[in-house]
Amino acid sequence: MRIGVIGAGVMGRGIAQVSAMAGHEVVLFDINSEVLTAAELAVQKNLNKAIELGKLDIAGKEVTIANLTYSNAISDVKVDMVIEAIVERLDVKTKVLADLADINGPDTIYASNTSSIPLTQIAAAFVYPQRVVGIHYFNPAHIMKLVEVISAEQTDPDVVEQAKAYVASVNKTCIVAKDAPGFIVNRVARHFYVEGLKVLEEDVASHDVIDDLVRASGFKMGPFQLMDLIGVETNLSVTESMYELFNYDQKFRPNRIQQKKVQAGYYGRKSGKGFYTYNK
């Protein structure tokens, strides 16, 4: 299958990598050439790390690299399946998908990696609503095993089956969810972040102590480490979206501490500073 991944940020490049490793021919598109260059370096680093851990051999790395091309020309995205992993804004997603529909037509599958925007809303604004489906990876995409497949109200059942088959092909565990705010994982996980921020806001404990306690309970990362990894601004955007979608239920209320981090440009690992400081 020829796959076009839209957006070469952390999520997009991870999706492109696992797709190429599985033998799919992949075009990773981004309008920003610098982001594409950073993505290529990150994929190389991930593949080298996989070799060090014995999870990949040299031949597998070469095949992956051969399957993956990088482009800032959207006309190159002539594919069987699109997976968009761009900013969580409906207007931006709608515009990009419309451009891709002009290039690809009604036979392509148009998948979104959205974390919080209703798939039914994305499909409603699209010329081929029955071809829209959610394929929601989790960060880091090249490591996390779970992928949610989400059916919009308009999605053709055959498109859901093809999305499930794609997820199986990249050796991920697939769960099918109906279109609801946050789907399954983000709805449940939102309170992992929100409650951690409340504990910090109430000065019960510092962010590093909260993370230590959570890790001691069996989690690989605490909420603040995970926010820094995902991107503090991305995490906040999802929280704001879910807060609105749940009619401003206070249990989803965005936290001022997180908002100040974003206002300061402290996005986490990607910016060198978030709740922690990193060497870029």
Q: Would you tell me how many other CB atoms lie within 10 Å of the CB of residue 235?
A: 29
168-186: string of b/e by CB count within 10 Å (b at 16+)? Answer: eebebebeebebebbbbbb
Structure-block tokens of residue 33: 């050439």
Q: Are 262 and 232 in contact (CB under 8 A)?
A: yes
Q: CA nearest 27: which of 46, 1, 51, 49?
A: 1
Residue written as tokens 């400081």?
277
> CB under 8 Å to 124, separation ≥6 — which residues?
154
Residue 110 bridge partners (DSSP): 82, 132
Structure-block tokens of residue 99: 């451009």
Q: Which element (helix H / strand E) includes 134? A: strand 132-136
Q: Which element (helix H / strand E) includes 112? A: strand 109-112
Backbone angles phi, psi at 29, to 5 degrees: -110, 140
Q: Supply the DSSP symbol for 273.
A: B
Catalytic residues: 115, 136, 148, 186
Q: Supply the DSSP symbol for 75.
A: G
Pairing status of strand 81-84 against strand 2-6? parallel
Q: Supply the DSSP symbol for 255.
A: P
What's the CA gap between 235 and 189, in Å, rounded? 11
What's the CA gap between 52 and 234, in Å, rounded? 30
